[in-house]
Every structure is written in structure tokens, then in C-alpha cells.
Amino acid sequence: MSTVGIIVNPNAGKDIRRLVTPATHTSDVTKVGIVRRAIVAATESGAERILLAPDRHRLAERAADGLDAPIQIVDEPITGSRYDTIAAARRFWKEQVGAIVALGGDGTSRDVALGWPDSPLVAVSTGTNNVFPSAIDGTSAGAAAGFVATGAVALDEVGRRSKRILVRIDDADSSVDDVALVDLAFVDTDFIGARAVRDPHTVSRVVAAIATPTSTGLSSIAGRLHPVDRHAPGGVLVEMGAGERSIRVPLAPGSFTTMSIADVRSLADGEEIVFTGRTILAFDGERDRTVGDDGRVAIRIDSGGPILIDVDRTLQLAAERRLFDPPTKTSDHGDVHGH
């Protein structure tokens, strides 16, 4: 059965950065609207089943309300944390979902990747720094996911494997594996606190897998020094500190700061780099893990991330294949409105 899965991160687009920058606030109503549009469009594209991830804000229920579509909200425990996204992605893998539409920022896509590493993904930006996801309407996102899920457009034709930054943290007591999709930063603060990395003086090192001049957030540092396309192998390592060069970067949307650069170098695909000692690691822009004095952080970039679906290409192929034509010339295919 052709299935589209939809995940919406209720927490995306609401953190502290809105106080200090003109970053977008994405309300729940906005998110519900995007999901509704994606449901309608995926159904229009022929998806036989729409699975929605549950969330603490009940955005999935609100989006599904009153729609005439084969919707099912999957039964998963709700924690109100990022683990809801991780669990939903894993569940979608078990349910053999053909394409996921995920609403959030870089961190949300990261959580999808943790739950289902090679998920077929349409990433819709509703977060703060949206390097990995794209600003695309739910209608197009849902339509593309629907065509891929039905096989009318093959995933091989429009999907490309993303890179990921694999991180292993070892200390005397434990060993943890984690993933970032865009950037990993070493932050010299004592606390995770309000999570977002805002103070340039606290950033000592950035590893980026995607670093384009159009990036915002930490990856913009590398993006302005040593751009690395999302599809090029490997990445870049930037060490902050006194050096010959400093650079102006948008550490958050609409907010520029000067960073002093000590060193920049390429990282080859699969090359491992290791750092030791106390730090806080920020994954895709958010402080998330503390590393103790005896900690060891091993990092490498590979191409094992989600299979990112090219929405433009999918819909172009759909048009070429006349997939938007009604089923028969005589059928009464009525208008569908998602409200």
C-alpha cells in the first residue's frame, strides 16, 4: 500500500533566537496548515495511506480534522521531546512508508535521520536555521511525497543520499553515538541552557557537512570560507581563534557577527578526526550533549544520511508523465479543498 508519513515538530521555530534576531516564529496554526496541505496533496497524488506522527501539541489531530483522506495517526508514546520524531521515523520504517514529509528545522531532519537513517525524505523548513530542509509549501511537498510513495516517480530518479556527521562520544562511563546533518560545533559554555548557539565567542570549532554561502547558522562560517555542497563528498573543519582572517557571518537569521578564524581544512569522506576534553557539543545549531574532562569525541562524515527527495524534479517528471491529468476524460473529478 502506497504510504506517505508526515512528521511535524511542534517545538521548531520558537526558541530564544527570536529575541535577538528577526528569525521567523512558526506558530502551531501555520504548521497545521502545512500538514493539511501536504495531506490533501499526497492523497491527490494517489497515496493510499497517510500516516501522521502523534505529537504533544496534537497538531496531527488538528491537521486531520474533517479531511476526507485515508489518514491514520500512528500509536506511539508521546514524550514532548525530540524522541517523538525519532520514534515516528522508526515507526514509518516499520510501516514501509514510501516517503516522509518532515516539518521542522535542521534539528528535526537530524532526528528523522536518527530514527530511520536512509529515509526517503521531503524536508520542509519551519525551523530557525534551515540549511537542510527547504522552504517549500506543504502542497508541493505532499504532492512529491505522494508520487514517490506510489512509485509513479521512482525514488531513484529524484532522491539523493545526504551526508551525515557521525559522532561517537566516549568517556569513562559510557559510549554514545549521535548524528548531525549540517554542522557539529564545540561550544565553551558550562550549560546546555537555552540550547541555541548565539554567542560567537563561545564557539571554538565547527565541523560542517553542508556549508554553502547561502547557509545561516554555524555552517555559514565554513560556507563563507570553504564552501561544501550538500552533495559533494566530505566536509570542512573550522577552528576558531586568533588567526590571519576574520569573517562576517549570519550566526542566526538576520544577525551578523565577526568570527576570528585560526584554521580551515577539508575533511575527506570517511576521514576520522578525534578531539578530547571538556566541551558542549551543538548538533545542527543546538547545544545538546556535554562532554567531560575525560571525554573523547570521534567524528567522521559519510554519505549515509536520508535520501532527500528533489521536489521540483519530482513534480517536473509528474508533469511530463501527465500524472496531473484526471483519471479519465469523462470522470467527474471534483475539486478538493483542504479547509
Q: Footprint of other proteins on this chain (CB under 8 A)?
A: 10-11, 14-20, 25, 27-29, 56-58, 188-195, 198-199, 202, 290, 292
Distance CA 232, CA 161 (A): 11
Per DSSP, helices labelled H in the chain are 17-20, 28-44, 59-64, 83-94, 106-115, 138-150, 155-158, 219-225, 311-320
| Nearer residue to other proteins within complex by CB, 31 or 163 | 31
By the 8 A CB rule, do 215 and 223 touch? Answer: yes
| Nearer residue to other proteins within complex by CB, 171 or 269 | 171
| Nearer residue to other proteins within complex by CB, 164 or 205 | 205
State the nearest-atom distance from the C-beta of 321 to other proteins, in Å. Answer: 41
| Nearer residue to other proteins within complex by CB, 19 or 319 | 19
State the nearest-atom distance from the C-beta of 297 to other proteins, in Å. Answer: 17
- 112 dihedral zone (left: phi>0; alpha: psi -120 to 50; beta): alpha
State the nearest-atom distance from the C-beta of 30 to other proteins, in Å. Answer: 9
Q: What is the dihedral of CA 213, 160, 209, 200, to 10 degrees?
A: 50
- 3-state SS of 145-206 is HHHHHHCCCCHHHHEEECCEEEEEEECCCCEEEEEECCEEEEECCCCCCCCECCCHHHEEEE
State the nearest-atom distance from the C-beta of 86 to other proteins, in Å. Answer: 19
| Nearer residue to other proteins within complex by CB, 85 or 150 | 85
Q: What is the CA radius of gyration of the chain?
A: 20
State the nearest-atom distance from the C-beta of 234 to other proteins, in Å. Answer: 32
Per-residue cell: 287:
547545544
By the 8 A CB rule, do 109 and 88 touch? Answer: no
State the nearest-atom distance from the C-beta of 245 to other proteins, in Å. Answer: 24
| Nearer residue to other proteins within complex by CB, 193 or 277 | 193
| Nearer residue to other proteins within complex by CB, 26 or 314 | 26
Q: What is the dihedral of CA 305, 74, 87, 184, to 10 degrees?
A: 50
Per-residue cell: 204:
571554538
State the nearest-atom distance from the C-beta of 121 to other proteins, in Å. Answer: 25
State the nearest-atom distance from the C-beta of 246 to other proteins, in Å. Answer: 20
Per-residue cell: 88:
515516528
| Nearer residue to other proteins within complex by CB, 4 or 53 | 53
| Nearer residue to other proteins within complex by CB, 263 or 293 | 293
Question: Could you tell me the sign of the dihedral formed by the alpha carbons of 183, 189, 191, 197, in that order?
Answer: negative
Distance CA 310, CA 123 (A): 10
State the nearest-atom distance from the C-beta of 338 to other proteins, in Å. Answer: 19
Look at residues 192, 197, 220, 196 and name the one whose alpha carbon lies nearest to residue 208. Answer: 220
